[in-house]
Amino acid sequence: MIVKKIFNLNNLFKTLLIVLGCFIISIGIDFYIKSNIGGDSMTTFLQGGNLKFNLKEGTISLLINLVFVLLTLFINYRKIGIGTIIIVFAYGLVLNVVLANSIIPFSQSFFVSIIYSIIGIFFVSLAITIWINTNFGVSPLEGFAISISEKTKIPFWVLKVVIDLTLLLSGILMGGTFGAGTIISSFLVGPSINVMSKVYLLLKNKIKPQIHG
């Protein structure tokens, strides 16, 4: 049944978007790592997990995403879609491949590091925005945050910042990289997703009338 749903033409397009998001966010994480001033909270967590448990970053990602899926199932199982499951496994695999074949050089100056961090924020936020707006099941972490937001009426971006800070602290305690880039990313990724989602909806509403016209 799941395979049949995926190979529906519309769902196949959404699946491709989900996988594209996996590549985009993996590139963003690669920029974070090469900045040498810390990445976003998830990157710090993945690096910490790598050091603590000697597992690849993509494998750590798969495991933590499975945890978020289980938590979301208890809060609002409707937020778990086919896309969510695809993200859990595809993201971990793609991240390992991207990091293993990276051509991005490590930053040699603080200025370049800041540029890397900004690029990382853009790619990570763009990927998550794509996942959210495919309506095919959001990423495990965002699905968890959205579910809590709908239950409590707390803005999504506020919850995203809280979750990011929790992951950040956990990553630091495990030995993950922490720096200026980490602080900037922790506070800007959530609001960036919020802005990108609004831009997406604005463009979608403008394009729709033209298509039907």
Each residue's pLDDT, cut to its tens digit, for the chain (213 residues) gives 555 555 577 888 889 999 999 999 999 999 999 998 988 888 999 999 999 999 999 999 999 999 999 999 888 888 788 888 999 999 999 999 999 999 999 999 999 999 999 999 999 999 988 888 888 877 888 789 988 999 898 998 788 778 878 998 999 999 988 899 988 887 888 789 889 988 888 887 776 555 444
Q: Is the dihedral of CA 16, 21, 26, 28 positive or negative?
A: positive
Token pair 């799941």 in the structure block, residue: 2
Q: What is the pTM of this model?
A: 0.82
What residues does each domain of the chain span? 2-212
